[in-house]
Each structure stands twice: as C-alpha cells, then as structure tokens.
Amino acid sequence: MNVYLLCATALAGSPLAPRDVDDVFRATAPPVVVRGQSPAPVYNDPTGYQPVYQPPTYEGGGVTGMNPFGGGPQPIGDPFLPGGGAVPPAAFSVPGTEFPFGLYDFGPPRPGWQFDGTVGVIPTESIDSPGGGSFGVIEYDVAAAYTSVNVAGGLFTVTQQFGQRFWDGPPGAAGRPSFGLPSKVFRFGWDFEYRTRPDLGPWGFVAGFNPSINTDFDAHLKSDAYNWDGRAYLTYRSSQSLTLVGGVGYWDRVNDRFIPYAGAIWKPNNRFEIHATVPEARVSYFLSRGGSSASWIYARAAYHVEAYQVETGSNAGIGTRMNDKFEVEDYRILIGYAFSNGYVNMFVEGGWVLGRETDFLRDTRSDFGISDGFIGRAGIRF
C-alpha cells in the first residue's frame, strides 16, 4: 500500500488531531519547576500523594513563578490513583524524545498511571545506491506507565511500550539482496526506572533499564531482535534556575553506542526554559494561560537510532531469505506547539530529518544513505 495512503489513514483515524509533545518515555521532572509550570509537590504520603502548593520564585529577581493553570491551590483528582488522590496539573511533555526519562517533563513527578500515544510520518526520499529507489516511514507508538513513591525516598516507574513502523522501500536489487526490506516492523519494550525524589535536596540520581523486542515477525526471534538499553546520570540543582546533568546511556543497536547524557537546564525567567543537553537539546517558551489550559511553543534537536531483526533477500539466490539486524540513524530538528489542561497534554511538531544512514549487521554491502526530508509528529499524554 502506498505510504501516503497509510499516512492519511493513520492520521484521520486517530484521536491525535491535536497532540502532546517520545521515545515512549516517562513523566517526571528536574527538581524545582520555576516558570509557567505547576509548583513542585511535597511527597509525604506514598499512597495518597497530596501535593502542597508553594509557588516558586526566581533567585535574584524575586519574580513569582507563573502557574499556567490559575492563581490559587487547584488540586485535580486523578481517577487512576488509589483513593482518587489529588495531583497538580502537569505541564506539557513529549513522548518519544531521545533524552527522555525525566529531563523533558515540565511538570512534577506524577504517581499513578499515565498513557502516551504518538504518530509520525517521514515521506519517501531517494536513497544513495547504484540501483536507486526510495525509503519512507509511517510510525506510531503507545505506552502505559505506572509510577509509585518509595518511602525510602525514590520514585519507581514501570512502562510498557509498543510501536510499529511501516516502511516503503527500497525494493530488492541485483547485488544488494538486503534491499528487500519488510513492509512493517514491531517493537515491544519494558522500561524500569528509579529516580530520587526531587524535593529531598539539590542532588538527584536516575537509573533505567529498557529491554525490548524488535522484529518483523518473519522469522523466529534470535539475539538480533533484543535491544538492551540502559542509562544512569546525576543531576545537581545549583540554583532555582539552573540544573546540571551528567551521565551515560547505552544503546544496543547494530553499532552499539555509549551516549553521553549531559548538559545544563536553565530557566532564566518564567517563560523560557533551555535544555543545553545531549543527545537532545531543547528551548521552550510559555505562551499563555486561558481558563484551565496552557500552551507552549518549542524547538528541539535530537539524535535518533532504531534497530530491528529483519528477514531480507539472500546472496544464495533469488527467492532465498536471510536473517539480519538493520538500523536507521538520523538527526532531527523540529519546531512544535504544545497544549495542556492539567489532565491531557497534546502536541504537534514538524521539521527536518537529516544525516540519515542505515547499517546491516551482516550484509554490509547493502548499507545505504537516505536523503534529508520532512518529519511530522503528533501525540497525546493523559
């Protein structure tokens, strides 16, 4: 089926017309949120989660932080929490980002259940191969996460993840048998994360383990289908407006990678927030509050890699198949708009994907590059 028809079907049939701001990640935040955000909660009951509202202030300027959802205390009951505990309205967040697991959530940690859904499209672009051809992607990801508060001073989150990619091209070609890629691949993931509570001091620690099964289901699962990702980093809140981050992540792909998780998060005033971090950087601006809702605009740049076990053509001859592991690597620059009413966060973003390269684990002569092109994403979190 043509990739554009698939795209139209996915977007038209999805409730994601507006959308929240990846990879399929968890909600939590750097210690104290100080701009157009809800104030940080006080964790004094791991079962009831009753936040205390104390509007943040800025050092030096004495400017009171803005609550985008209203002036006074406005706890919102969460039906997913035991006993219907109250939670503060969370500001926007971006499922599916590549430096996730806390540093890209603008609201405080939210115990209980949370659900993400994301759709995206990268239209077909030409590939740099002697045989020619093109490659396009339609994708969606969903996740369900549960966060519990530990009396010892930690937050533990378990996230169940599922994603699917629809690939359009390239076809098989003489001399490059692995070009016969499958039309779709699947990802099943389980993320386990522990982080210290941000209200217990300036130092914080985050550790996560994210095993996943990545396959086209055309052959029996082998070691190529399993990706064993992990991450660990420290955070240090040197002031109300500045948090430093340092650590490392491991991405299990065709070419395994140790990725620095490092940088600084700066909130110069009650509207801007700057994440000068790798492997994803971001700048957001709080636009306005209207009634019980709030909105933001933002720009982000990210490094992104995916890998799957696939069954492709074989050098043994026409009609024969072989198992291989295939990865797609790229860099993304996007501009987006986000909206939140306290319960539901939505986002839509678009931009450019560039530096696109592919690698096969075994049939390396079939590696190819993909031309730069447009990328669009949209999603929701509730």
DSSP string, 185-215: EEEEEEEEEEEE-GGG-SEEEEEEEEEEEEE
**pLDDT band of 314, cuts 50, 70, 90:** low
Most confident of the following: 91-100, 117-126, 263-272: 117-126
Q: Give residue 320's pLDDT.
A: 55
Sign, Cα dihedral of 11, 165, 124, 355 = positive
pLDDT reported for residue 198: 76
pTM, to two decimals:
0.74
Task: Give the domain extent around 262.
Answer: 3-381
pLDDT: is 71 or 153 the higher one? Answer: 153
Asked if the model's pLDDT at residue 349 lies above 90, the reply is: yes
Residue of 259, 224, 226, 274 whose CA lies nearest to 329: 259
Please give the distance of CA 174 from its chain centroid, rounded to a whole number: 38
Residues 6+ apart with CB under 8 A from 69: 38, 89, 289, 292, 293, 294, 341, 342
Give pLDDT, residue 323: 86
Instruction: Look at residue 43 and tell me whether its pLDDT is greater than 80.
Output: no
Q: Reduce the DSSP state of residue 366 to 3 states and report it.
A: helix
What integer pLDDT is reported at residue 311 of this predicted model? 87
Residue 372 CA to residue 126 CA, distance in Å, equals: 9
Q: How far apart are the C-alpha atoms of 115 and 107, rounded to whole Å? A: 15
CA 46 to chain centre: 26
Higher pLDDT residue, 178 or 203? 203
- Are the C-beta atoms of residues 310 and 185 closer than 8 Å to each other? yes
Would the pLDDT of 287 be above 70? yes
**How many structural domains is the chain composed of?**
1
Report the distance separating Cα 23 and Cα 25, nearest Å.
Answer: 5
Closest by CA to 258, choosing from 303, 311, 212, is: 303
- Reported as a single tens digit per residue, the pLDDT across 61-85 is 333 334 444 333 333 333 333 333 3
Mean confidence (pLDDT) of the chain: 74
